[in-house]
Amino acid sequence: MSYPNTYYKQTMADTKVRPVLSEAVECDTVVVGGGLAGLTTALQLARAGQSVVVLEAECVGFGASGRNGGFVSPGYATGTAEIARRAGGEAARQLHLLSIEGVDFVRQTIETLKIDGARPQAGLVSVLRHDDGKSLRAHADEMRRGYGYELEYLDTDQVRSVLKSKRYFHGLRDGRAFHIHPLNYLRGVADEVERLGGRIYERSAAIGTALNGAEKTVQTIRGKVRARQVVFSTGGYTGSLNGRLNRAFLPIATYVMLSEKARELIRTAVTTSDAVGDNRRAGDYYRLVDGGKRLLWGGRITTRAASPAALARELRREMVGTYPQLEELKTELAWSGLMSYARHLMPQIGEMQSGAWHCAAFGGHGLNTTAIGGKLVAEAILGQSDRYKLFKPFGLVWAGGYAGLAVAQLTYWKLQAQDWWRERAA
């Protein structure tokens, strides 16, 4: 298997290897990309009786889908106010409801398919690194009134009783959110696609397409797929296969590290089984794994992949700055992955031309939004709904190429500086 060395690879529930496409095949829909978005689309189409082929360049879940933090919670990488500015207030409301639906879809899929290896654990706490409890209480009230969604406000004493750090002030606990082993979840979905008759080919990178006719063709090195519909769900690993899609988002790297086994030392800092994330753009996110024996810690973003060892040192510096008592906690493993971000920080979901669909740009909030994205594309292909049109204001706008990458990195540094000043003022 070609997976990078991550905690998720080391704890995979199965080691099934899928075949390489080495012939010409036909189907109703071919999905290019075997990550969360592509496999969710394939799952919903297969459930409806369509014949589906999935082409994956490496192994299912090779990219960000199989090496992320594992957080499943509502929302998008950008805020509701910005969504409303672009799409209108009611559309923003409907989009947020879709993000909640995505969370519920993942939970229901785990339960229905009995994906025990996903190891769902309820609870996510979002914490502030500055003293502004009023804003969190207002947000909790807004979610309750507007969506019937309950968030529990935690004051500073409550936060610090389980997160033993002076950097944290107030928090909101989401009891409906949860965290999982994303690679085992995704491989469980892949098993179900195959059980329903879908075909998944690994190490079968798409190298060319013909999309203009009623019959679409996707070419691999050793095979070919003919289909009536094509779905592109390749994320940060799209490359040159689809230029329009590739130009519409930026591949952004993020980083994760895993601690050694040290339950008692970790308990001097973190005593909750909830996942934790702070309020900063590209802030820290972490959770206990292996029954509390290890700490999985992620954060940082860069516009080009850097050495995981070097980034692990930065992540360790951030961890120890937050929890000085963990200075002796050793890092056992570190890895990175590429996410796809659009300039507007929203998923890009739609039909780029007749019969050719895209479902990408889920960076920063992928587990719930890939689920709803795949579900909506499948509904559209099946003629069941046109709910995907809610994402029309967030189209395939040019992301700026190399200049866009430079701007993204400068923006990230600016946001880091703003966060630093705000914390200093608190």
**pLDDT tens per residue, range 208-250:** 999 999 999 999 999 999 999 999 998 777 777 877 887 887 7
**Which amino acid appears at position 213 of this protein?**
G
Mean pLDDT estimate for the chain: 91
Res 235: pLDDT: 78
State mean pLDDT over 149-160: 98
Counting Cα atoms < 13 Å in the Cβ hemisphere of 184 gives 20
Question: What does the pLDDT average to over 182-194?
Answer: 98
Question: How many angstroms separate the CA atoms of 217 and 240, rounded?
Answer: 16
Does pLDDT of 142 surpass 90? Answer: yes
Q: How confident is the model at residue 280 (pLDDT cuts 50, 70, 90)?
A: confident
Residues 6+ apart with CB under 8 A from 361: 235, 248, 249, 340, 341, 342, 346, 347, 348
Average pLDDT in the 67-95 region? 94
pLDDT digits (tens, 9 = 90+) for 164-179: 999 999 999 999 999 9
pLDDT at 412: 43
What was the pLDDT predicted at 340?
79
> What's the mean pLDDT in 112-124?
98
The pTM assigned to this predicted structure is 0.92
Residue 236, Cβ density class (10 Å: 0-12 exposed, 13-18 middle, ≥19 buried)? buried
